[in-house]
Amino acid sequence: MTVEKILGDWKQKRFRPIYWLEGEEEYYIDELMNFAEHHILSEAEASFNLSIFYGKDAFWADIINACRKYPMFGDRQVVLLKEAQQMREIEKLEPYIENPLASTIFVVSYKEKKIDGRSRMAKLIKEKAELFSSKKMYDNQLPEWTSELIKSKGYNISAKALLLLVEHIGNDLSRINNEVEKILINLGARKNINDDDIERFVGVSKEYNVFELQDALVKKNLSKAIRIVQYFEANPKAAPIQMILPALYNFFSKTYMLFGQSSKDEKTIAANIGTNPFFVKDYIAAAKAYNYEGIESAILLLHEYNLKSVGVNSINTEDASLLKEMIAKMIA
């Protein structure tokens, strides 16, 4: 069952007695819980027929009693159990899951993980409830997801601005959505988001960021790369070394995979190496600039300096010094 299908059913006033929302991606779970809390019932109905529990403080008997009540001045009631993964004795809900009340819509958010599939409760949920399981989105899917999110709100974003936004925030859909909302509020009458907007409203420098550092490495522009690292040194929160090294490792690892590709089609290559077609040109440019041995050397250097950044074979060396040293060796 997808988010769209559940929301579509709810908007059409089609309900099942129990919805179990679980998994690692909190964004979709929060979207469903927010709709259930604010839109299934009218404001007048909610004052009598909406009950909200939080797993850490909830007692199973109170939840079952709330679920077994009949609605007042309406056809249905909504009971929400948030953060259910923190609830003690959650298995005590099994009798209600096995025999739910038709006039109650019981929605459970079980974040960060899935309930043990071997348990009796998991089997009951599959049999009696509408199960929604959310997986963490792959990093290479983030640009397309973000672009579609922005389009759904009636706006567009430039390729560079999209990359800056995604690279800065990373795999956090809720934060991406929040930052997009902040940008749109400040756009005024404009419908296009550019890199100046990302710099101004999100706080990402359009000249000094991991993407520009990557670009400098591809072009073997040592002076530009060093200037970017110096900016990072003066602004530690802009791009800590723990964010820079994994990003560069991911880039060079994807580039390394190009050497095993027989196809010249960029969409095919993107699918084979697990990335977005938008990035393929950068990987191809890097492969040409460094060749097989150079890419292999870059990956080994990244591994070496990742160890140094945590103190292995390097004591009290500043992060910026490590980055400058590594970059000089890469480009050389």
pTM over 0.85: no
Looking at the chain, the number of H-run helices and the number of E-run strands are: 16, 7
Going along the chain from its start, the domains and CATH numbers come out as 3-134 (3.40.50.300), 139-202 (1.10.8.60), 210-331 (1.20.272.10)
Measured at the CA of 220, the angle between CA 216 and CA 225, to 5 degrees, comes to 40
Q: Can you give the pLDDT at residue 15?
A: 96
Place 238 in a pLDDT band, splitting at 50, 70 and 90: confident
pLDDT tops 80 at residue 278: no
The rounded mean pLDDT for the chain is 92
- Which of the two residues, 239 and 91, has the higher pLDDT score? 91
The whole-angstrom separation of Cα 151 and Cα 146 is: 9
Average pLDDT of 133-146? 87
- DSSP 3-state assignment of 206? coil
Average pLDDT of 57-66? 95
pLDDT tops 90 at residue 267: no
Place 69 in a pLDDT band, splitting at 50, 70 and 90: very high
CA distances for 261 relative to 183, 207, 258, 276, 290, angstroms? 39, 32, 5, 16, 17
Q: Can you give the pLDDT at residue 211?
A: 87
Q: Measured over all CA atoms, what is the biggest interatomic distance in the chain, rounded to whole angstroms?
A: 76
Q: Can you give the pLDDT at residue 132?
A: 94
- In terms of C-beta density within 10 A (0-12 exposed, 13-18 middle, 19 or more buried), how is residue 139 classed? middle
Q: Can you give the pLDDT at residue 146?
A: 94
DSSP codes of every residue in 9-56: HHHTT---SEEEEEES-HHHHHHHHHHHHHTSS-HHHHHHHEEEEETT
Q: Can you give the pLDDT at residue 206?
A: 84
Which range among 104-108, 257-261, 281-285 has the greatest average pLDDT? Answer: 104-108
pLDDT tops 90 at residue 245: yes
The whole-angstrom separation of Cα 328 and Cα 92 is: 61
Q: Are 53 and 81 in contact (CB under 8 A)?
A: yes
The whole-angstrom separation of Cα 137 and Cα 27 is: 10
Q: Can you give the pLDDT at residue 17?
A: 96
**pLDDT, tens digit (0-9, with 9 covering 90-100), for 162-203:** 988 988 888 899 999 999 999 999 998 899 999 999 999 998
Please compute Rg for the chain using Cα positions: 25
Which range among 78-82, 117-121, 188-192 has the greatest average pLDDT? Answer: 78-82
Place 306 in a pLDDT band, splitting at 50, 70 and 90: very high
pLDDT tops 90 at residue 131: yes
